[in-house]
A and B are shown apart, each in its own frame.
Chain A
């Protein structure tokens, strides 16, 4: 677990934080968050749920409409400069200059964070080494792979040893090897250096593997919060999902399945899903009931509770695999 101690002041303390865009929706609607020092907090939500708007406010790039937030003990509205000095951030876009080298990027960041000259050079070399970029340090970023750009972005956000690190979808689009390298580094930062990590991701597996606690935001509101284990236990029972051969039989199939639990949103289009009231003991009975009803099915899947079930139950959308909400068909973020 993390190096958190309950007596320390909160790393992120958000009270009724709200952002309303002009002629637009309430992108973030009176959310409350508490993130402890050294904690990895996963922030999940479907596309347009308010994740990135929250990060922009907490990193001082966007003022809130109302509410307050303290980051590393500093007010995001009144003490923006102090907040920026205490945090590191890697936003969705890597934010790199394609014509500068990796070393130039790090040097510039070090200078803008006012690192003393001697420490600056050492820190730049240390981060280049740490992120496997030493050999490419003198090359222009335009020739870097996606994974290298992400690693450089992360290295830049760490140059001044921030106390709080904001990562907005840090592994989106990366190959498994690069993703794994970033996971390892994020874990190390929290466990060994006590850095608080506020992480958004569209990969539930990532949130599950990394996060000490998870918050799910939907339509600007926090709809669930807790450890991954707590959230999965909250959903509790497994679900079963069936797909009728003939789509006209779907309602009859739903009636049969309803005898065994309450209907929940299905993962696959056209399928009927129920959360089983009695757990897996009814499984054989379900098959018999479908057969007795003269219904033919192409698939019958049993799902143990996963974070995707939690997400589905709380937002009505599935992130896993689809990458977006069923309504808009867009990429999840």
Chain B
């Protein structure tokens, strides 16, 4: 497969298609939007006593766990984006796109950008809900925008990794097998407690090597600290790292899968 320069307009139309498809499908949008909110509600309401542990940051537990839904939507969007791509392969829609003058990279990137559009909508909803329930974002509007940027980068990156799996297997069912893995990544992180307050050694060790912890901490820093350069640098490193791995893996897999001249 020759690697052609992607046409920006083609990418825009393809991302619009992915976004329209996802946003108009309640079976995809409702669970991936409502479930993280419920999860946030359960943590903020039911485990709020954790905020009283000595050494806990000077913030309400509600503010502390407000990072959770943003990471969840990113992981869920990756699964649904990769599943959609696998469906495109299975149903022959990818071949239909490959029969147009659009470059393979435009098709792939357009698809991933559709996931970005979806999480922007979801992140906006979460921010509004957060404001309604009294979450305070220490870094202000600029911080909220940066939070969205971080979530978008991570979403595109992890969606790229999921799309790699889709291209390798061509099976939506196999791609959905990633779902439990994303939850393991989420729960075995510093999602509910700061790493230094995790008592179990094994859990603390996993949370320390789990890159999602650093991503969560960067988002959390924007909410409860303000502008923490070190936390943000780590968060961007994780997001950009995922983006690089996701793009390289998916483009390489696409080149292996598609033999278009």
Contact = CB atoms under 8 A, between A and B. Distances in A.
A109 B13 CA distance: 10
Given A61-B98, A100-B20, A113-B101, A95 B259 contact: no
- Categorize the interface residue count of chain A: 20 to 34
B4 interface: yes
A63 B259 contact: yes
Nearest to A159: B100
A61 B4 CA distance: 15
B96 A80 contact: no
Interface in B211-233: none
B133 to A, nearest CB: 33
Contacts of B93: 95-97
B21 A97 contact: yes
Contacts of A111: 9-10, 13
Contacts of B17: 97, 100, 104, 108
Given A77-B261, A97-B91, A109 B98 contact: no
Given A81-B4, A112-B97, A104 B261 contact: no
A80 B260 contact: yes
A133 interface: no
B101 A104 contact: no
A112 B20 contact: no
Contacts of B260: 60-62, 80
Given A59-B99, A80-B2, A91 B92 contact: yes
A173 interface: no
A88 to B, nearest CB: 8
A60 B99 CA distance: 8
Nearest to A62: B259
Given A61-B98, A98-B91, 13 more contacts: A59-B99, A60-B99, A60-B261, A61-B260, A62-B259, A63-B261, A80-B260, A81-B4, A81-B101, A84-B99, A99-B21, A111-B9, A112-B10
B97 to A, nearest CB: 7
Interface in B79-116: 88, 91-93, 95-102
Contacts of B92: 91, 93-96
The 3 closest A-B pairs by CB, nearest first: A95-B96, A93-B92, A95-B92
A100 B100 contact: no
Nearest to A84: B101
Given A63-B261, A95-B91, A112-B13, A104 B20 contact: yes
Interface in A78-130: 78, 80-81, 84-85, 87, 89, 91, 93-100, 104, 108-109, 111-114
A135 to B, nearest CB: 20
A156 interface: yes
Contacts of B25: 99
A100 B21 contact: yes
Interface of B: 2, 4, 9-10, 13-14, 17, 20-21, 24-25, 88, 91-93, 95-102, 258-261
B113 to A, nearest CB: 15
28 contacts: A61-B98, A76-B261, A80-B260, A84-B100, A84-B101, A87-B99, A89-B99, A91-B95, A91-B96, A91-B99, A93-B91, A93-B95, A94-B92, A95-B95, A95-B96, A96-B91, A97-B21, A97-B91, A97-B93, A100-B20, A104-B17, A108-B13, A112-B13, A112-B14, A112-B102, A113-B100, A113-B101, A114-B101
A137 to B, nearest CB: 15
A112 B259 contact: no
Contacts of A99: 21, 24-25
Contacts of B21: 97, 99-100
B100 A109 contact: yes
Contacts of B20: 100, 104
A123 B88 CA distance: 25
A39 to B, nearest CB: 21
Contacts of B88: 97
Contacts of B13: 108, 111-112
Contacts of B259: 61-63
Nearest to A57: B261
B95 A114 contact: no
Contacts of A112: 10, 13-14, 97, 100-102
